[in-house]
Structure 1
Amino acid sequence: MSIPAGLNDAFQAYERALMQNDLETMSRLFADEGTTLRGDGGGLLIGHEQIDAFRRGRSGALPRELVDVQIQVIDDNTALIVAVTAARRGGHGLQTQLWRRTTAGWQVTAAHVSAPPTTFDPAVWRIVGDPLVPPTGTGDLQGQTVAVKDVFAVAGHAIGAGVPTYLDGQPHATTHASAVARLLRAGAAIRGIARTDQLTYSLAGDNPHYGTPVNALVPGALPGGSSSGPATAVALGAASIGLGTDTAGSIRVPASYQGLWGLRTTHGSVPVDGMVPLAPDFDTVGLLTRTPQLLRSAAMALAPESAFALSGAVVDLDELGLTDLATYAEAFRVHQAFQAWSVHGAWIAEHPRAVLGSAGERFAAASRITSAEDARAREVLDRARSTIDGLLGGAVLRLPAAAGPAPRLWTSPREVERARRATLELTCIAGITGRPALVTPGSSTSEGPVGRCLLGPPNSELALIAWTMRNGEAE
């Protein structure tokens, strides 16, 4: 059967538009229907509106050339086109499109894109090895691999903290951070050093220097941060354990967004030597895994003193009677910002264009917080801690791990900030009280999952995991 008139012209027009990032033409050449499909390694997008939004949120396609185009005509109004592509960076990909003749002309109704294979994703990893660091002992973590957030010292490597200029000025570490050393002694190997949001001052998971790691569960969504690299590495199966930090939710939010198990340890229970701080009054070490069994083994290696047994009830957040949560969250935000500027302000002032985007704006705002404002915030936090501890006692608090599912890559900065502030009203409770928090894969919505969070008494990490496994809290 001969190629229908206009089909090849439409296909070539789409290819030109793709290479020029001509959003209007690409939109016109995809069928404006709720059933139009576009799939790739990141997942499936359904509907013209979602596909358009995805394109608006990216900077364009990788430069490529067509190597071979095969057209299989199904009937006068339908054809399948399979194209072999060659990326200018190297490697071959495959593109499959189902075209249909409509009243608007030839349009794509379904497409699948296979990009050239990547052996290293620089948005997820800073450096990887096979392994990067072998285990130093044997134990329950034998055979497991760790993605280490790029804020921990790994002997022989500098810490980058998500900022190229910061990395350039750091010496190579001579010893491992204690958290890293504990996992190595338990038999785990370091797979690599994984990306973080800039100086960990974000919950979104994006990084304007290195790119945004994919959300392995929700196509086109933010991965959650600031432990974004370890979370995505674990969710993709590139590592079995993610070692990260949690100040205001940097373990809990990516766990929620990507359907992982996440653990924020009790404040002060795991040494933070060899770790880049953000706000020392709130900074903790955390873990990410795909199963509760592995999380328990990793927690035993990381926080062996967490032997507190649960004896209290489980209380839902709306039953607790916290009426000043927004006030507490604002005080948390102010004190976190004041400490963040105290830690990093001098360096940022010397390198004014090193930290970009929303993190840069956040540091700029932090620079304007006065000692008096911080003192007032600390007074509120002291009252909040006393109130929450008095209400909870030895009970476990159950609450959402985030205010909602992951925002999409194309979500406006204002909406991402709104989601961050709403989430902070939930995550600040652990920060204020220093309590451990366990995130389990939670309920799915049409926009993605929202994890469940259990906040336990200090040093109850292992008991929280055991209770959750026993009572089937994860869905």
Structure 2
Amino acid sequence: MRDDTDLLDALFEPGSETLRGDDAGLLRGHDAISAFRTRRGGVAPRTIASVEVRPVGGDTVLVVGESAFAGGGRGLQTQLWRRTDGVWRIAVAHVTGRPRAFDRSIWRVLGDPLVHGTGAGPLAGVRVAVKDLFDIAGQVVGAGNPEHERSAPTATETAAALRALLDSGADVAGIAGTDEFAYALAGRNAHFGAPPNGADGTRIGGGSTSGPASAVALGQADLGLGTDTAGSLRVPASYQGLWGLRTTHDAVSRHGVLPLAQSFDTVGWLARSPDVLTAAATVSLSETATDVDDGTLLVAEALLDAAEPDTARAFAAWVADTGRPVRRIVLPDLDDLAETLRVVQAAEAWRNHGRWIGEHPGSLGEDVAARFTAAAAVTAEDEDTARARLPELRARIRDAVGGGVLCLPTVPGPAPLRTATGPDVLATRRATLRMTAVAGVGGLPALSAPLLQVGGAPVGVCLVGGPDTDRDLVAAAATFPTHLSNPSHPLRPSHPSR
């Protein structure tokens, strides 16, 4: 109960075979268990109600303890103790906490359902987790921040993008969490915790569409409605093995959606299958969608260099397995793209939320507060310079992609471990933005499809197409193979570089 981490470390067997599991997943090895424990922030007050001991052998004992929590409810701790060199230590532990009405790290408001749709249409029976940026009549927008939740007005209308889903038969399961003001990619909310990764509980889930992603990956919803500015849909889709579509900029109405940076904000969806994603796109996008040519895959060398080596090798093997020819293209400098997006995004984010932040000092978590502090420091000259670059960079990206499909790993690699430090997560964010900025600056649709595994964890393949090729990207991705191993295959260009 003192959360004496040194003593607890000593009670667990050293080495890589020690196990500790809970509802968030399984930790393997003493080092991983120790790193988790030092960052969990203590345990809920409780007493031990009973202990059952069952000898399994001369040097092995099974112990089951029942806890009574001070705030009500009970939990279990099951431990396999083993005596080695005269010392008893825990070899395997499983912790079962008290049941929760709902996971506050995932949901802000949950219903059964919260809002009924029409009950008929292509989305009938689909449960939607709505990112906490969308207006829902009778609800407030919390934007991932408890102070904003308390001060926000009650919406009188439902956001247009959500209304399209309701009119097609879907129900709103609930309002799901987001990184504060959608200004992050990690899915670590300082106020409500980190939603679990439904594909690998030892890793972070990603954000800022963090709550909807976890809800869909865990089977608590069928469709996540979210936003993508600089990767907020694509990153959690990749981390949790989901299908995630960022739509063409301005293709889906953002009326009734709290903005972050209007030059890049888009509406999109997360799903466990391409069929549900296609249905959402079909009822939400106009009939003017255009086709994409996926006969030849476009690959940019700089994007492969930006990925981690294991991810680049897995991606190369996947490309070879598609059987499609490859044409290499040249994109604008990735650092230039990321910095241009960062400056314009920061200027718009501060313009949208700076006044509120100034009126509510101390209301933000440390990482998001630092991001807004940097945003406040962007000068008018900085913004004008970056904004003047946007049309040129956008035109160059669109010219390079043309009517084809640019393929790349969605993110540099698998999701960081949930024990990762703040600086490590920040480094991952910076590396990720170099890859996600291509679609952001280009204003192009981008689909993350769960087609790779690297080190046993999911990594998405991202398909970027020309404007209004959103639905065709999903159809194309559904024909591609899923690649679960990491052999080394060189990319084989069949056309001269462009």
Whole-angstrom CA distance in 1 between matches of 2:59 and 2:146: 52
Pick one of 25, 32, 44 that aligns with 1:50.
32
Change (3 A) 1:156 1:375: same
One-letter code aligned to 1:118:
R
Structure 1 residue ranges, 4+ long, deviating more than 4 angstroms after superposition: none
The residue number in structure 1 matching 2:77 is: 95
Give CA deviations for 1:84-118 in whole Å, capped at 9, x if unaligned. 22222322222111101123721000111111222
The equivalences for 1:355-394 within 5 A come to: 355-394=364-403
The equivalences for 1:239-278 within 5 A come to: 239-278=221-260
Is 1:329 the equivalent of 2:338? yes
The residue number in structure 1 matching 2:120 is: 138
Tell whether the 8 Å contact from 1:131 to 1:190 is kept in structure 2 after alignment.
yes
The residue number in structure 1 matching 2:406 is: 397
One-letter code aligned to 1:240:
D
Q: Which moved more, 1:407-416 or 1:239-248?
A: 407-416
The residue number in structure 1 matching 2:277 is: 295
The residue number in structure 1 matching 2:299 is: 316
When normalised by structure 2's length, the TM-score is 0.89
Give SS of 2:459's match.
strand
Is 1:428 the equivalent of 2:437? yes
Whole-angstrom CA distance in 2 between matches of 1:236 and 1:89: 27
Tell whether the 8 Å contact from 1:78 to 1:99 is kept in structure 2 after alignment.
yes
The CA RMSD measured in Å over matched residues stands at 1.5
Whole-angstrom CA distance in 1 between matches of 2:4 and 2:254: 48
Tell whether the 8 Å contact from 2:398 to 2:466 is kept in structure 1 after alignment.
no
Whole-angstrom CA distance in 2 between matches of 1:50 and 1:302: 43
Pick one of 418, 422, 425 that aligns with 1:409.
418
Whole-angstrom CA distance in 2 between matches of 1:108 and 1:321: 55
Change (3 A) 1:97 1:306: farther
Structure 1 residue 176 displacement after superposition: 0.3
Tell whether the 8 Å contact from 1:234 to 1:241 is kept in structure 2 after alignment.
yes
Give SS of 1:129's match.
strand
Tell whether the 8 Å contact from 2:270 to 2:277 is kept in structure 1 after alignment.
yes
The residue number in structure 2 matching 1:106 is: 88
The residue number in structure 2 matching 1:12 is: none
The residue number in structure 2 matching 1:460 is: 469
Whole-angstrom CA distance in 2 between matches of 1:311 and 1:98: 57
When normalised by structure 1's length, the TM-score is 0.93
Give CA deviations for 1:209-234 in whole Å, capped at 9, x if unaligned. 11111111222321100000000011
The residue number in structure 1 matching 2:52 is: 70
Change (3 A) 1:89 1:444: farther
Tell whether the 8 Å contact from 2:146 to 2:191 is kept in structure 1 after alignment.
yes
Give SS of 1:403's match.
coil
The residue number in structure 1 matching 2:361 is: 352
Structure 1 residue 240 displacement after superposition: 0.6
Whole-angstrom CA distance in 2 between matches of 1:122 and 1:305: 38
Pick one of 116, 122, 138 that aligns with 2:104.
122
Tell whether the 8 Å contact from 2:293 to 2:405 is kept in structure 1 after alignment.
no
Tell whether the 8 Å contact from 1:440 to 1:473 is kept in structure 2 after alignment.
no
Structure 1 residue 305 displacement after superposition: 3.3
Structure 1 residue 306 displacement after superposition: 5.7
Change (3 A) 1:239 1:101: same
Count of matched residue pairs = 457
Structure 1 residue 324 displacement after superposition: 1.1
Query: Is there any run of 5+ residues in structure 1 with no aligned partner, and where?
Result: 1-18
Give SS of 1:470's match.
coil
Whole-angstrom CA distance in 2 between matches of 1:348 and 1:409: 28
Pick one of 165, 169, 177 that aligns with 2:159.
177
